[in-house]
Chains A and B, each alone.
Chain A
Amino acid sequence: MAIEIKMPALSPTMEEGTLAKWLVKEGDTVKSGDIMAEIETDKATMEFEAVDEGTIAQILVAEGTDNVKVGTVIATLAVEGEEVSKAPTPAAAEDKAVEPEKQEQAAESGTPEPHLVETGARQMFEAAKHDAEVADPEVPAGTAMVKLTLREALRDAMAEEMRKDERVFVMGEEVAQYQGAYKVTQGLLDEFGETRVIDTPITEYGFAGVGTGAAMGGLRPIVEFMTFNFAMQAIDHIINSAAKTNYMSGGQMRCPIVFRGPNGAASRVGAQHSQNYGPWYASVPGLIVIAPYDAADAKGLLKAAIRSEDPVVFLENELLYGRTFEVPQVDDWVLPIGKARIMREGKDVTIVSYSIGVGISLEAADELAKEGIEAEVVDLRTLRPLDRQTVLKSLAKTNRIVVVEEGWPTCSIASEVAAFVMEEGFDDLDAPVLRVTDEDVPLPYAANLEKLALISAAKVVETVKKVCYR
């Protein structure tokens, strides 16, 4: 029986990729460890190695084919003693260079589905796919929209600001030659050169300090952390050096710097790589903290962050990097810092969230609509300063609030929203403010436990019903 060689998943969230190149041809013998093909995703190019020994019987997906679904049979391997010509042929094999649309057939004709473990991160990732019509007053009617992934939007924001202002530069681990650990800085080295796109050693405390010092000296650094988990090593400079200096110097010494990178839970990476630092930084006077959900906000707010005279912590979400959103096609798309956005209008309940929680809230709102509950979804976008007015205005309309946060409950943004809503909106409340947050535990690795620990649309639906007394 020939062995089926399937399109591999390079990451827990990868669904499809490009079969860039075959390095073997039919009739070649391979042994374990031989590189058979190059697979590309929007994040990375990987070499695909053989595991079993044998002879390549058939190549079923031609090189250069895009959108090859994970698990698709891309080749067959005849094992020793087997006649290559007699290798049983899968359905699609008659057409050797399978067109992408025919892969579906291959998948349908008995190829087992790839092992997609149902995890909390995957669940969040799926929910956050939500493509709702959003009510956004900022885009003039008739503006053309372009589809961009979140990472492209972030890259464009940096590139545009770097073109405008010589003082802007990017530094961090793998930002230049590697093109970004998550490919957010892709292409910047080519355009701006190594003086402005700078690979650092693995030395977070050091390069956060170097960036902060350069900002004090008059430059406009963008410091990328491979993830904000690693910024724990550098938090002293973010808080003690960057955030406090303007105040301590009586307004004399500014620190216009952007610290950016992915934040929050990724997929199955365990406790040390899965944490939301939004509440940490948002508690510090002197910092601006931004955590966008979609690509348009990411672009417009990152541009604003780079232009700001203040130090900004810009929290991205790894699960969303590859997600495509519509971004207004205007020359200089800059959004105001400190303004929340109504993502969906509703009259029965307000769901307040930010970052990936917004996608989950929109998904939940769809579910709730089916049951006759019209939820208004507010994306905070900026965590410090917090746009209380937009939240309170929505509350005045709906009289009920649920806060959704992919992060721990204790001393969270959700706690903060609950507090100010109680202080300033008490008379508008018809029900207690409830929170949907991650469980109060370090994020576990096991798929089932991870799923239990993270927020989900179902949990939001359930909680919203409670405040609606339904």
Chain B
Amino acid sequence: MAKAPARAKSEPPKVNRERPDEPELYKASKEELLELYKQMLLIRRFEEKAGQLYGLGFIGGFCHLYIGQEAVAVGLQSALDGEKDSVITGYRDHGHMLAYGIDPKVIMAELTGRAAGISKGKGGSMHMFSTEKKFYGGHGIVGAQVSLGTGLAFKHKYSNDGGVCLAYFGDGAANQGQVYESFNMAELWKLPIIYVIENNQYAMGTSVNRASSEDQLYRRGESFRIPGIQVDGMDVLACRGAAEEALAWVRAGKGPLILEMKTYRYRGHSMSDPAKYRSREEVQAVRDKSDPIEHAKQLLEKLGVKEDELKAAEAAIRKQVNEAADFAEQTPEPEPGELYTDVLVESY
């Protein structure tokens, strides 16, 4: 259960129409893999710091950490074309923003509710956006991003801009009705979208098999004729390889595709979740055997990257995260006048 099961266990449905090929592990160069490693490490350290700041009262409300799932956002987003493609996700969004190269300072400052935050402090952890980077949030209603993402894909097709939308949602959201309404329209209209189910195995406290009659979530598109691929979401190269295959499929005009990323979150659903629904041993086993960052590190060592180099990278990331935290603690809160701005764009 804890370890992402091997691909072979789940028989693919009988082939009666064209399906994407089985993705291959991405063959990264040393430099590429080092970059992926650094991005994952940045997310890990950033989230650990965010957890710490939450405990100290600097961050309020809900705060959903991405620790354990780093390979998914980093692996997938590294394959996108930043000029054309769009990304949308739910409330566990810090990692996706960092993977998109958004400055950790403005993300952390948003978490602490400061004017310098990416949403001027008015959005918070769950509501962050960067239209400049084509990152469309950051949505707090479970599953809403699936139809919104389908709308972004609609826009790509309508404008013929060559872009693809990557819409992330969790195993919990996969049971929302609007997901299937969206699947139907996306396939009907052959929209350029990759639905990414980040299956971290628990929807808050409910495990996948306690909530899903079909717990092989990559099959959830079958009745809409949307093919699905199950991916080891703890291996950044598997994630990247799956993204390459999915992008090739979607960019060829074959319509949507589902990627089920088998992953695991080490922390609770949010900071206020004590995670009593699983054993400490279960979590520890994943950390020991399947940690995505540890795995990438081992690969890098095999490729001949020196320990000094990795240590230097780690130190630089810690520094960057500490600077972001200091900034987020010290930068001022929004002016009271901000209360009334941005409700509407125009004046009437």
Tell me the smallest distance from the CB of A454 to a CB of chain B, in Å: 31
A104 CA / B207 CA spacing, docked (Å): 73
Chain A residues with CB under 8 A of B159: 218-219
Chain B residues with CB under 8 A of A336: 348
Please determine whether B177 and A205 come into contact, CB atoms closer than 8 angstroms. yes
Chain A residues with CB under 8 A of B345: 246, 251, 254, 256, 308-310
Please determine whether B342 and A246 come into contact, CB atoms closer than 8 angstroms. yes
Please determine whether A248 and B122 come into contact, CB atoms closer than 8 angstroms. yes
Chain B residues with CB under 8 A of A119: none
A85 close to B (CB within 8 Å): no
Chain B residues with CB under 8 A of A247: 122, 342-343
Known pairs A246-B344, A249-B127; A215 contacts B122 (CB<8 A): no
A309 CA / B346 CA spacing, docked (Å): 7
Max chain A CB contacts within 10 Å: which of B127, B148, B342, B346?
Answer: B148
Please determine whether B137 and A245 come into contact, CB atoms closer than 8 angstroms. yes
Please determine whether B348 and A210 come into contact, CB atoms closer than 8 angstroms. no
B194 close to A (CB within 8 Å): no
B182 close to A (CB within 8 Å): yes
Please determine whether B139 and A241 come into contact, CB atoms closer than 8 angstroms. yes
A336 CA / B149 CA spacing, docked (Å): 32
Tell me the smallest distance from the CB of B188 to a CB of chain A, in Å: 7
A201 CA / B224 CA spacing, docked (Å): 13
Chain A residues with CB under 8 A of B88: 213
User: Looking at chain B's contact residues, is the secondary structure mostly helix, strand, loop, or mixed?
Assistant: mixed
Chain A residues with CB under 8 A of B146: 209
Chain A residues with CB under 8 A of B127: 248-249
User: Which of the segments B49-57, B128-136, B244-252 contacts the partner chain?
Assistant: B128-136
Max chain A CB contacts within 10 Å: which of B141, B343, B344?
Answer: B344
B295-348 contacts to A, CB under 8 A, are 341-346, 348
Please determine whether A337 and B348 come into contact, CB atoms closer than 8 angstroms. yes
A241 CA / B118 CA spacing, docked (Å): 18
Please determine whether A251 and B147 come into contact, CB atoms closer than 8 angstroms. no
Please determine whether B155 and A213 come into contact, CB atoms closer than 8 angstroms. yes
Tell me the smallest distance from the CB of A137 to a CB of chain B, in Å: 18
B180-235 contacts to A, CB under 8 A, are 181-182, 184-185, 188
A12 close to B (CB within 8 Å): no
A439 CA / B152 CA spacing, docked (Å): 43
Please determine whether B149 and A213 come into contact, CB atoms closer than 8 angstroms. yes
With both beta carbons as reference points, the residue of chain B lying nearest to A246 in the complex is identified as B342
Please determine whether B137 and A253 come into contact, CB atoms closer than 8 angstroms. yes
Contact of A249 among B129, B156, B184 (CB under 8 A): B129
Known pairs A246-B345, A309-B345, A310-B345; A214 contacts B178 (CB<8 A): no
Tell me the smallest distance from the CB of A315 to a CB of chain B, in Å: 17
Chain A residues with CB under 8 A of B117: 250
Max chain A CB contacts within 10 Å: which of B153, B181, B185, B345?
Answer: B181
Max chain B CB contacts within 10 Å: which of A200, A201, A251?
Answer: A251
Chain B residues with CB under 8 A of A201: 181, 184-185, 188
A203 close to B (CB within 8 Å): yes
Please determine whether A203 and B181 come into contact, CB atoms closer than 8 angstroms. yes
B89 close to A (CB within 8 Å): no
Please determine whether B343 and A285 come into contact, CB atoms closer than 8 angstroms. yes
B109-141 contacts to A, CB under 8 A, are 117-123, 127-131, 136-141
Chain B residues with CB under 8 A of A288: 344, 348
With both beta carbons as reference points, the residue of chain A lying nearest to B120 in the complex is identified as A250
Known pairs A251-B342, A310-B345, A338-B348; A209 contacts B150 (CB<8 A): yes
Chain A residues with CB under 8 A of B342: 246-247, 249-251
Tell me the smallest distance from the CB of B202 to a CB of chain A, in Å: 24
Please determine whether A253 and B151 come into contact, CB atoms closer than 8 angstroms. no
B154 close to A (CB within 8 Å): yes
Chain B residues with CB under 8 A of A240: 140-141, 144
List the 5 closest pairs (A to B, CB-CB), nearest first.
A213-B151, A209-B147, A206-B181, A250-B120, A217-B155
- 19 CB contacts below 8 A, A to B, read A206-B185, A207-B147, A213-B148, A213-B155, A214-B152, A214-B154, A216-B136, A217-B86, A219-B154, A236-B144, A240-B140, A241-B141, A245-B129, A247-B122, A248-B138, A249-B128, A249-B137, A250-B121, A310-B345
Sample of 9 further A-B pairs with CB below 8 A, known A200-B185, A246-B342, A249-B123: A206-B178, A207-B181, A209-B151, A213-B136, A217-B86, A245-B137, A248-B123, A250-B122, A286-B343
